[in-house]
Amino acid sequence: MEGQQVVLVGQVTGNTETFREVIARIEKSAMPIKIIKTMCSDSYSRQEVAVDLAAKADVVILVDDAGDGAQSVFEVCSRVNERVYRVGSKEEIRTEWLDGVNKLAIVGGILVPEWTIQDVARHVRLMCATPAPAE
């Protein structure tokens, strides 16, 4: 690679944890490379908050915005919690996901508005308050 230029580009809504790991590996290699972080700051902060919540929760419900932002949030949350469920709407949430759960985190992709997260939270509260129908 001597004399060659290397470029590292991070997708705007990509997995910030993986991007940081790649940067760290490149920096350890002592290669003469310039790294310019191009990912939006909202991706970093949203993913950091999501990981923190996922680490403290028994279950994570990820409201999917059908974009890459939700995929990157899913990836970083799955690193710290194996019970991450992706839903496109509150109606997709299954009661069995909530069995025995003390702490639930609800997070969204970058395009999911706060009011949608609040609506999903209200829906989950109602699900927990309503006994499941007998089969």
Domains of the chain are 1-135 (3.40.1010.20)
* Residue 64 Cα to chain centre, angstroms: 9
Ordered DSSP codes for 66-128: SSHHHHHHHHHHHTT-S-EEEESSGGG--GGGGTT-S-EEEEE-TT--HHHHHHHHHHHHHHH
**pLDDT tens, N- to C-terminus, the chain (135 residues):** 566 666 666 655 566 677 777 778 877 877 777 766 666 656 667 788 889 999 999 999 999 988 777 888 898 899 999 999 999 999 999 999 999 899 999 998 878 888 999 999 999 999 988 665 666
- By the 10 Å C-beta count (0-12 exposed, 13-18 middle, 19+ buried), 13 is classed as buried
Q: Which residue has the tokens 């999917």?
A: 64
pTM: 0.69
